[in-house]
């Protein structure tokens, strides 16, 4: 999703802005641009595609100036081309924007009627013209910006620069996050502290509705009504070191391989390995006494939540209501009086997840969040944060965050079960012992990489793939399909194995590989029956199972991937590895942009 950077410096800022934008690349984008003010002249360079294209333009035709704004754009209104790329200009005003101005069409009509000429198809350009109108009406830069911002509806983060003032940037937040960075005689604004890490770790986050006037040596923050407000300064823990790929071809490959270590690290924060007990949790949510749990998330994090539902309900007998956040936020579902709500988000900034959180807050729920970004909005608006310790995840397709989310959910479910007395102390120890083996099994699963690479070569030839699983492997089947779609652009569906005969079986022929995720567990035989149904119709099965499963299934498969024999509890975490590797290598054979697949964003801050 769009990334914003602004700098008022003491040195030429264009190269600094590009460096900061590189740190926002992980969010996903399809064009980029930088504008600076130099000797009373606003100038810009913009380019479609990767930041390399913008750098090339800046190399050929550099931008001078000690104040500037920059942007990576993920298209919402208007195709990704140079004309629609930010910064946008109108008269003395330059703007970069993340989000959606919902009333832009109405504002554009009004401005056109007053003579404004539009050059792009973006909603952002109305902001420039609106501010320019206010300047022409005699308002100061700060007054003009405030007047314009007050008229905008929707979700937006903005950075604004004026041709007439080389010591002023306006930053405004209505939804998507924005951070001000404080330097020595320099000031910065950015979509997150990661972007600003090379310059400063002294950060002030704007609250929702805030806007700020930023100068080299000072800044003022105002609320929506224009009253000055104080917001706390904090030391960001984000590292300035740009996360590197190391020996790996892609961040996704690196992140898949980091999983054993990250899962161990995450689990050690939730489990006491010396006593084989789940550690006590922050008391804000009493899992021992709540009546119901609501869970909401998007994408991969939603599938983690679905698996969590199986665990909470089976182990702790705690009923869970779960939905994707874009539905949850508008469903007006009744929530239990004595209930808690859990929000799962790698970035902690997903707009729909945040809106679901706020709905639950308005309904009197206690709010917990499972996040990777601990300084994120979702974390800050929660009563209790259950961090995952996955480290920065750069690949747009989530991998290590998913398995670390599962590690946290399993730990919470065990703790809840122990507190509710639905498992005995001996069972708690047994489950914790099983969970503590996850990293070891995950490492074993990674050893199957070469074999999975071979199988992926065949997958890269097909148009459609079906994934099947039962129980916790059903959400994993959906996650497998999502991973494949996201990065290889091959159409894939994840289904509950037992549901196959109610529709998708009509698709089966020898052109569609069917990936069956089936460890030898309580319901393995049921899945074997579903595989028979596929085989009888000429379907080509790729079976992911263990030794026992392979022996028992005794049927002709296209391929069988033999996994280590793992306890049922941790199967979806360990089986996530071959699922991720299959998608990864298929995408590599397809030659797609694995880390930044087309049209996708890492951090989705619009609805
Ligand atoms: C985007 C990403 C997905 C991610 C989802 C939720 O769609 O491309 O990989 O699962 O957002 O993101 P979150 O940061 O809330 O986990």
Q: Which domains occur in the chain, in start order?
A: 3-235 (3.60.20.10), 245-436 (3.40.50.10490), 446-598 (3.40.50.10490)
What's the mean pLDDT when you consider all of the chain?
94
Whether 229 contacts 257, CB under 8 Å: no
Q: What pLDDT shows up at residue 28?
A: 76
H helix and E strand count, the chain: 21, 27
Q: What pLDDT shows up at residue 245?
A: 79
Q: How confident is the model at residue 607 (pLDDT cuts 50, 70, 90)?
A: confident
Tell me which range, 234-243, 260-269, 517-526, 577-586, is most confidently predicted by mean pLDDT: 577-586
Query: Which atom belonging to ligand 1 lies closest to the Cα atom of 28?
Result: 8
Which of 297, 300, 478, 607 has most ligand 1 atoms within 8 Å of CB, for mutation?
300
CA distance 411 to 322: 19
Q: Does 2 participate in catalysis according to the annotation? A: yes
Q: Does 602 participate in catalysis according to the annotation? A: yes
Q: What pLDDT shows up at residue 243?
A: 66
pTM: 0.81
CA of 27 to the centre of ligand 1 (A): 10
Of the listed ranges 121-125, 311-315, 366-370, 563-567, the least confidently predicted one is 121-125
Residue 432 pLDDT > 90, yes or no?
A: yes
Which burial class, exposed, middle or buried, applies to 424 when counting CB atoms under 10 A from its CB (0-12, 13-18, 19+)? exposed
Ligand 1 lined by 329 (C-beta under 6 Å): no
CA of 202 to the centre of ligand 1 (A): 27
% of the chain at pLDDT higher than 90:
80
CA of 102 to the centre of ligand 1 (A): 23
**Residues counted in the chain:** 607
pLDDT digit string (tens) for 197-218? 999 999 999 999 999 999 999 9
Sequence-distant (≥ 6) Cβ neighbours of residue 501 within 8 angstroms: 530, 533
SS (H, E, C) 165-230: EEEEEEEEEECCCCEEEECCCCEEEECCHHHHCCCCCEEEECCCCCEEEECCCCEEEECCCCCEEC
Q: Which helix (H) or strand (E) holds 402?
A: helix 400-420
CA of 280 to the centre of ligand 1 (A): 29
User: What is the average pLDDT across 246-265?
Assistant: 91
User: What is the average pLDDT across 141-164?
Assistant: 96
pLDDT digit string (tens) for 478-537? 999 999 999 999 999 999 999 998 988 888 988 999 999 999 999 999 998 898 888 888
Which burial class, exposed, middle or buried, applies to 555 when counting CB atoms under 10 A from its CB (0-12, 13-18, 19+)? middle
CA distance 251 to 261: 16
Sequence-distant (≥ 6) Cβ neighbours of residue 605 within 8 angstroms: 1, 2, 98, 99, 155, 157, 175, 176, 177, 349, 350, 351
Residue nearest to atom 1 of ligand 1 (CA): 602
CA of 242 to the centre of ligand 1 (A): 21
pLDDT digit string (tens) for 376-413? 899 999 999 999 989 889 999 999 999 999 999 999 99
Query: Which atom belonging to ligand 1 lies closest to the Cα atom of 350?
Result: 15
Residue nearest to atom 2 of ligand 1 (CA): 602
Which of 57, 483, 485, 602 is labelled catalytic? 602
CA distance 524 to 275: 33
170: Cα separation from own chain's centroid:
27
User: What is the average pLDDT across 179-190?
Assistant: 96
Residue nearest to atom 8 of ligand 1 (CA): 602
Of 248, 267, 269, residue with least CA distance to 258: 248
Q: What pLDDT shows up at residue 241?
A: 57
Q: What pLDDT shows up at residue 242?
A: 60
Ligand 1 lined by 485 (C-beta under 6 Å): no
Query: Alpha helix locations (H) across 232-350?
Result: 251-257, 259-268, 299-316, 325-331
Query: Which atom belonging to ligand 1 lies closest to the Cα atom of 486?
Result: 8
Ligand 1 lined by 300 (C-beta under 6 Å): yes
% of the chain at pLDDT higher than 70:
99
Residue 238 pLDDT > 80, yes or no?
A: no
Query: Which atom belonging to ligand 1 lies closest to the Cα atom of 378?
Result: 15
CA of 35 to the centre of ligand 1 (A): 30
Which of 2, 298, 360, 404 is labelled catalytic? 2
Return the structure tokens found at 189: 């604004």
User: What is the average pLDDT across 35-51?
Assistant: 96
User: What is the average pLDDT across 581-595?
Assistant: 96
Ligand 1 lined by 347 (C-beta under 6 Å): yes
Q: What pLDDT shows up at residue 265?
A: 87
Give the gyration radius of the chain's Cα atoms. Answer: 26
SS3 content of the chain, % helix, strand, coil (to 5): 40, 25, 35
Q: How confident is the model at residue 239 (pLDDT cuts 50, 70, 90)?
A: low
């Amino acid at each position: 999703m769009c990334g914003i950077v602004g700098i008022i410096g003491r040195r030429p800022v264009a190269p600094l802005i590009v460096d900061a934008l590189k740190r926002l690349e992980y969010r996903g984008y399809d064009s980029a641009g930088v504008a600076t003010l130099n000797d009373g002249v606003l100038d810009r360079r913009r380019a479609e595609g990767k930041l390399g294209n913008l750098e090339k333009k800046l190399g050929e035709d550099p931008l001078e100036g000690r104040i500037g704004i920059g942007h990576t754009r993920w298209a919402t209104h208007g195709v990704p081309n140079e004309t629609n790329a930010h910064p946008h200009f109108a008269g003395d005003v330059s703007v970069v924007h993340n989000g959606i101005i919902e009333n832009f069409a109405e504002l554009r009509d009004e401005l056109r009627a007053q003579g404004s000429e539009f050059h792009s198809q973006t909603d952002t350009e109305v902001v420039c013209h609106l501010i320019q109108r206010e300047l022409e009406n005699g308002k100061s830069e700060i007054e003009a910006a405030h007047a314009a911002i007050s008229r905008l509806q929707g979700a937006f983060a903005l950075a604004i620069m004026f041709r007439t003032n080389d010591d002023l940037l306006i930053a405004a937040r209505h939804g998507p996050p924005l951070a001000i960075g404080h330097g020595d005689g320099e000031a910065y604004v950015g979509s997150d502290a990661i972007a600003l890490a090379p310059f400063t770790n002294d950060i002030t986050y704007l609250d929702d509705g805030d806007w700020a006037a930023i100068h080299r040596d000072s800044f003022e923050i105002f609320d929506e009504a224009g009253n000055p407000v104080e917001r706390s300064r904090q030391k960001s823990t984000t590292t300035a070191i740009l996360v590197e790929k190391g020996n790996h071809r892609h961040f996704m490959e690196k992140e898949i391989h980091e999983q054993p270590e990250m899962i161990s690290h995450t689990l050690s924060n939730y489990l006491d390995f010396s006593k084989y007990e789940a550690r006590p949790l922050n008391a804000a949510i009493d899992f021992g006494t709540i009546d119901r749990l609501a869970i909401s998330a998007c994408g991969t994090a939603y599938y983690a939540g679905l698996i969590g539902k199986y665990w909470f309900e089976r182990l702790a007998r705690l009923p869970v209501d779960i939905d994707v956040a874009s539905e949850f936020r508008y469903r007006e579902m009744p929530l239990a009086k004595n209930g808690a709500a859990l929000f799962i988000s790698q970035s902690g900034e997903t707009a729909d997840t945040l809106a679901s959180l706020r709905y639950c807050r308005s309904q009197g729920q206690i709010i917990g969040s499972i996040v990777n970004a601990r300084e994120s909005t979702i974390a800050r608006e929660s009563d209790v944060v259950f961090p995952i310790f996955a480290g920065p995840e750069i690949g747009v397709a989530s991998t290590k965050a998913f398995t670390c989310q599962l590690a946290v959910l399993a730990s919470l479910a065990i703790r809840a079960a122990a507190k509710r007395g639905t498992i005995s102390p001996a069972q708690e120890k047994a489950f914790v012992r099983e969970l503590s083996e996850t990293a070891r099994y995950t490492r074993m699963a990674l050893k199957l990489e070469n074999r999975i690479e071979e199988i992926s070569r065949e997958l890269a030839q097909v148009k459609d793939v079906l994934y099947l699983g039962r129980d916790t492997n059903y959400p994993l089947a959906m996650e497998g399909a999502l991973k494949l779609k996201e990065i290889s652009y091959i159409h894939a569906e994840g289904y509950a194995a037992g549901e196959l005969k109610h529709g998708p079986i009509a698709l089966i022929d020898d052109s569609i590989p069917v990936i069956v995720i089936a460890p030898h567990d309580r319901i393995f035989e049921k899945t074997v029956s579903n595989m028979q149904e596929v085989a009888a119709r000429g379907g080509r099965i790729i079976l992911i199972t263990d030794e026992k499963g392979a022996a028992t299934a005794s049927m002709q498969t296209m391929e069988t991937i033999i996994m280590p024999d793992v306890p049922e509890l941790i199967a979806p975490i360990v089986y996530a590895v071959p699922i991720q590797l299959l998608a990864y290598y298929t995408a590599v054979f397809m030659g797609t942009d694995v880390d930044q697949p087309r049209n996708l964003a890492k951090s989705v801050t619009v609805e």
